[in-house]
Amino acid sequence: MKKVPFGSLAASIAALGTVLGFLALQLRADGYEPYVDSVATASVVMYVTSALIVGTWVRARRLHSD
C-alpha cells in the first residue's frame, strides 16, 4: 500500500490556516468587520484539521511500525 503524504498535507493545511488568519487581520484593518469572524473561524478549523492529521499520522506510524 502506498504511504499517504500526511506531512505535506498537514503542512499545507496549516499554511492555509495561516493565510486565512492574516486575511482576517487585513479584513479587520480595512473595516470589513462582518467577514472577520467567519474567516477567523475558518482559520481555526484549518489549524484543528492539521492537528488531527498529525495525530492520525502518529497513530498510523505506530500501527505499522511492527
pLDDT for position 1: 47
Place 2 in a pLDDT band, splitting at 50, 70 and 90: low
Look up the pTM and report it. 0.83
For the chain, what are the domain ranges?
A: 6-64
CA distance 37 to 8: 28
Dump pLDDT digits (tens) for 21-30.
999 999 999 9
Which one-letter amino acid corresponds to residue 66? D
Q: What is the DSSP letter of 4?
A: P
HSE, CB side, 13 Å, CA atoms: give it for residue 32. Answer: 12
What mean pLDDT is predicted for residues 37-65? 91
- Residue predicted with more confidence, 57 or 65: 57
Distances (CA, A) of 17 to 29, 57, 59, 62, 65: 19, 19, 23, 27, 31
